[in-house]
Amino acid sequence: MRTVAVVLGTRPEAIKLAPVIHALREDPRFEPIVISTGQHREMLDETMREFDLSPDIDLAVMVPGQTLSQTTYRALRELEGQLDSLKLQAVLVHGDTATTLAGALAAFHHRIPLIHVEAGLRSGFLGSPFPEEGNRRMIAQIAALHLAPTPGNKANLLSEGIAEETIAVTGNTVIDALHWAGHKADSFGHPALEDLDTDTRKVVLASAHRRDAWPHLPQIARAFAAIADEPGTRVVVPLHRNPAVRRAVLPAVEGHPDITVVDPLPYLNFCRLMRRADIVLSDSSGAQEEGPALGKPTLVISNVTERSEAVVAGTARLVGTSYDGVYTHTVELLRDKEAYARMASAANPYGDGRATRRTVDAIAHFFGDGPPAEPFVPECETDELSVEPARTAEFARS
């Protein structure tokens, strides 16, 4: 039996790794040990409970006011102590957070093979998104197995000199989580949202919280308010708990009669809200994958994205971070039925609900315990999907 430490710390990591953890636990070839850094303490715990999971080891590294460096340092220090005592055959990390980087470095320092889930995403610009792009590039250099969601992600890794035999194309496990969530929630998770099923207005699900967006949040929030001024439109804003985000966003949206501001919702309730929404307007990495999977036109509040497949496929669009970009692109979809229909009918390039099975098969093959995983092939695969990063014209000129 192979003992694999699964290191996570944020809500998105819990969502995307939950199907993998359950599958590893059900497979007699593996014994997963879940190690949590607690990077997103409250939201992480809530999400773990939704997926019927709890950490085997909780490092609880977060203290108020920590910098990125301090968070990474504390996570690495605590992980070092745990890896010293565990007899591991591999360490598995996901994505691009401070937790991911700390888990990767701890494995490397202990000469334990590193498995990187959601490998190969690239914006092509080291400073955007920050620090995620840098974290991903560094982790790729020390990973032993790269689990790339799409063929384009694999192409990115190959272009950086990563050996092809160490890469498996799996699809994205967030689609598996989305399929699992299904219609499990019997409410929207907040009293202010319970009229959504009978509300005839078009619903725009709007959020922005990533570090890159912080300087632009006031104008993004003003755009949310202007969108809500459109006749027959309601904007729902699940607002991140980060105090800096709340200070920047609330003045423009609080008290608007057609804007509903709520705290971050439990995942099952959030999935129900996405299904009800007409448009997803967000800088969230998960929303860029979940929106297209649900057939929702997805407007990405950023000038560049590491998830360019949906942009190429036509189900997502970069709108930048300016007031004009956020407002204009959203209102176009609210007013133009044909433009809306084109985006709503575009194919989903990120998964088919079987990424977890491919992930486990790829890990087993890595250990010599099974054949190679059958690669994921997107239904909308073309030669363009997609090595070239997607960016706005404004960003390309800068």
41, 201, 211, 357: which one is catalytic?
211
How high is the pLDDT of residue 394? 57
Q: Is 278 a catalytic residue?
A: no
Task: Indicate the pairing of strand 304-305 with strand 390-391.
Answer: antiparallel
Question: Could you tell me which CATH number the domain at 187-348+393-397 has?
Answer: 3.40.50.2000
Closest CA to 3 of 20, 17, 24, 26: 24
Of 21-30, 173-182, 206-215, 268-277, the range with the lowest mean pLDDT is 206-215
Share of the chain above pLDDT 90, in %: 84
How high is the pLDDT of residue 62? 86
Whether 391 shows a pLDDT value over 70: the answer reads: no
**In the structure, what pLDDT confidence band is assigned to residue 346 with cuts at 50, 70 and 90?**
confident
Calculate mean pLDDT across residues 80-94. 95
13, 50, 78, 96: which one is catalytic?
96
13, 50, 118, 290: which one is catalytic?
118
136, 146, 234, 240: which one is catalytic?
240
How high is the pLDDT of residue 264? 93
More confident residue, 181 or 395: 181
DSSP line for 153-184: HHHHHHHTT--GGGEEE---HHHHHHHHHTT-
Tokens (6 digits) for 275: 């299904």
Domain chopping of the chain, boundaries? 2-180+351-378, 187-348+393-397
Q: Is 369 a catalytic residue?
A: no
Calculate mean pLDDT across residues 237-243. 92
Calculate mean pLDDT across residues 242-248. 93
- The CA distance from 355 to 167, in Å, is 14
Q: Is 229 a catalytic residue?
A: no
CA angle 309, 311, 317 (to 5 degrees): 150
Q: Is 324 a catalytic residue?
A: no
pLDDT digits over 180-214, tens only?
998 889 899 999 999 999 999 999 999 999 888 89
Q: Is 118 a catalytic residue?
A: yes
pLDDT digits over 119-136, tens only?
999 999 998 889 999 999
Q: Is 132 a catalytic residue?
A: yes
How high is the pLDDT of residue 383? 44
Calculate mean pLDDT across residues 229-238. 98
Matching fold, domains 2-180+351-378 and 187-348+393-397 = yes
- What's domain 2-180+351-378's superfamily in CATH? Glycogen Phosphorylase B; (3.40.50.2000)
**In the structure, what pLDDT confidence band is assigned to residue 66 with cuts at 50, 70 and 90?**
confident
How high is the pLDDT of residue 64? 82
Of 37-41, 101-105, 312-316, 384-388, the range with the lowest mean pLDDT is 384-388
Q: By the 8 A CB rule, do 384 and 355 touch?
A: no
Tokens (6 digits) for 212: 């890159």
Q: What is the mean pLDDT of the chain?
A: 93
How high is the pLDDT of residue 146? 99
